[in-house]
Amino acid sequence: MTSHTVRILGNHVAYYTSAGQGPAVVFVHGNSFSGQVFAPQFQSSLGATYRLVAPDLVGHGASAWAKNPRSAYTLPGYADFLAAFVQALSLDDAVFVGWSLGGHIVLEATAQLHQARGFMIYGTPPLGKPPDLTACFYPNPAINAIYEASPSTATCEAFVEGCFRPGYAAIPDAYVTYMKQTDPKARTLFPPSVLQDSNYTDERAIVAKLDRPLAILHALKSRRGYCHPQKSPTR
């Protein structure tokens, strides 16, 4: 997994690539994490075959914090970031994979990704308007970590643990570091932009009208639950 930097919309942005030279696949990480969470894929036979690329979203990982956080830390803002990143690296005809927040960003950006070959999202139940999170996610108090400006280490550890299957013993310590690196405003400004302002495109309508392949992955409910969508949209 090789690291690089590029300027996107005036911001210093970090991104990572695999060794493969085949068709491109762009991975978009979840809230408070980094493109480095995809290291297992980048270091696998998949990464040796395909050109895998993953940015650190603005305000996340090694990327700079947003200069205009109120507009950048919204789904339209993140979608504009992704579209500009794709253009800068000539990734227009890639397949796009989004995890959790990354999946919502991918859906929001579909209108700008005209040449994309297809999309895959997971941990991302498409939201209608107004958003009904109780119909989409099982409740778990650990989710509050991504709404707090500066969550404690224990809170971060509980959230990270919930991103893996119960009993998984090889959870990387770096995941907590990624959470600590994230711009606090990325956590405090994003939720109200969705829940209060509905500042996003109706994702169920996007799914219904999308004219390119879309894969939606859902895991079975775990005892933690909150990382697993409760309901699937009709496609």
In this prediction the pTM is 0.91
Q: Which domain holds residue 66?
A: 2-217
In a domain, residue 232? The reply is: no
Closest CA to 181 of 64, 69, 94, 102: 64
Q: Is the pLDDT of residue 232 over 80?
A: no
- Enter the tokens of residue 189: 């400004």
CB–CB of 100/31 below 8 Å?
yes
pLDDT of amino acid 230? 39
CATH of the domain at 179: 3.40.50.1820
What digits encode the pLDDT tens for the residues 38-68? 999 999 999 999 999 999 999 999 999 999 9
Judge whether 169 lies within some domain.
yes
The domain tally of the chain equals 1
pLDDT confidence of residue 48: 97
| 231 part of a folded domain | no
For residue 171, what are its two tokens? 């959870």
Q: Identify the band that residue 221 occupies on the pLDDT scale cut at 50, 70 and 90.
A: low
Burial 74-91 (b: 16+ CB within 10 A, else e): bbbbbbbbbbbbbeebeb
- In this predicted structure, the answer to whether residue 96 has a pLDDT above a threshold of 90 is yes
% of the chain beyond a pLDDT of 90: 77
Q: Is residue 234 situated within a structural domain?
A: no
Confidence of residue 168 (pLDDT cuts 50, 70, 90): confident
Mean pLDDT along residues 119-128 = 93
Radius of gyration of the chain (CA): 16
Asked if the model's pLDDT at residue 228 lies above 80, the reply is no
Give the pLDDT of residue 130: 86
Position 224 pLDDT exceeds 80: no
For residue 192, pLDDT over 60 is answered with yes
Q: Is residue 75 domain-resident?
A: yes
pLDDT, residue 220, reads: 66
Residue with tokens 């909150």: 226
Residue 233: inside a domain, yes or no?
no
Q: How far is CA 80 from CA 59, 68, 234, in A?
A: 14, 13, 27
Is residue 229 pLDDT above 70, yes or no? Answer: no
Q: Checking DSSP bridges between strand 50-55 and strand 95-99, what pairing results, if any?
A: unpaired
Q: How confident is the model at residue 211 (pLDDT cuts 50, 70, 90)?
A: very high
Is 124 domain-assigned? yes
Q: Is residue 33 part of a domain?
A: yes
